[in-house]
Amino acid sequence: MSEEQPIGDTGTTKDMPAVGPRPADQPANRGRSLVGFYIALGVVAALVGLGAWMYAPLRLRYAIYRVEHPPAGSPLSSEQVADYTKWFSECGDSACHGNNQALAAVVAMPINPAEPPFSPGTFGYKYVILACKVQPERFFTALDQQPESQVVKVLHELDYGCRIKASITRGAFVSLGGIPFYSTGISRQRAAFLVERFKAHSISQDPDVRRVAEAALDFTCRRFAKKLAEAEKAKPEAPSP
């Protein structure tokens, strides 16, 4: 009779019944299962924490992208206007908390507020509030990095924004008259016009309007000093007595 070989690693032969795991092995198996469970739980918690930590910066990055890349089409639908305004405001809020990239996106806004369906001052009031919150000096430092056409656009929006806010404070619309709203550049007449506007706003009853207007006046005089000098030279001489 040939010697029977054990089956697998159970130590049994084909004529012997298999022996189940010894009782001493069962606690070890349960321990390994618990370790695996806690490791998986830790991984899930880490992923949730990472997602929560990354949500705010990723959302801000997306908001900046949406402000820098406005929706296509002319005129825009009311839904597109509302969506763009929402992301503009979100960038403004981040700028108020010290984010310079968000501030740069806001002052570089490619939308032209003078085109339908927008109306003059659509973003002007937001600009006035933003300039107060981020400090006017910081706002105009960011604006100074923009090309001339963008600077003119923002200054005109600030002019309208100052009028809107002053009107709210006064309880009546502040009318200053004016010249055509936007242009591709700035002439000496337009530079002088903006200076006169911000001089008028600088004596407003609204303290926020005065604060922004004074900073805007100083900025305009510095940024367009050459144009203002030309405007001054072009003034007709007063008749001799």
Low-confidence winner among 12-26, 140-154, 165-179, 207-221 (lowest mean pLDDT): 12-26
Residue 150 contacts by C-beta under 8 Å, 6 or more apart in sequence? 107, 108
**Between these two residues, 47 and 59, which has the higher pLDDT value?**
59
Count the residues in the chain.
241
Q: What is the mean pLDDT of residues 37-58?
A: 72
pLDDT band at 112 (very low <50, low <70, confident <90, very high): confident
**Could you report the per-residue pLDDT of 49-107, keeping only the tens digit for each?**
766 666 788 899 999 999 999 887 777 788 888 899 899 999 999 999 999 999 999 99
Percent of all residues in the chain with a pLDDT value above 70, rounded to a whole number: 72
Q: How far is residue 109 from each of residues 24, 89, 132, 232, measured CA to CA in Å?
A: 72, 12, 18, 32
Low-confidence winner among 30-44, 56-70, 119-133, 137-151 (lowest mean pLDDT): 30-44
The CA-based diameter of the chain, rounded to the nearest angstrom, is 145
pLDDT for residue 206 is more than 90: yes
**Between these two residues, 227 and 74, which has the higher pLDDT value?**
227
Q: What is the mean pLDDT of residues 178-196?
A: 73
Q: Name the phi and psi angles at 84, rounded to 5.
A: -65, -40
**Could you report the per-residue pLDDT of 208-224, keeping only the tens digit for each?**
999 999 999 999 999 99
Residue 62 has a pLDDT of: 93
Residue 179 has a pLDDT of: 47
Residue 217 has a pLDDT of: 96
Residue 89 has a pLDDT of: 92
Cβ burial, residue 159 (10 Å; 0-12/13-18/19+): buried
Please, which residues bridge with residue 7 across strands?
12
Distance CA 38, CA 44 (A): 10
Please answer whether residues 199 and 205 qualify as being in contact, where contact means their C-beta atoms are separated by less than 8 angstroms: no
Q: How far is residue 53 from each of residues 44, 50, 56, 60, 233, measured CA to CA in Å?
A: 14, 5, 7, 13, 58
pLDDT band at 240 (very low <50, low <70, confident <90, very high): low
pLDDT band at 43 (very low <50, low <70, confident <90, very high): confident
Picking from 193, 131, 114, 118, the residue whose alpha carbon sits closest to that of residue 165 is: 131
Residue 17 in 3-state DSSP? coil
Residue 7 in 3-state DSSP? strand
Q: Enter the pTM of the model.
A: 0.73
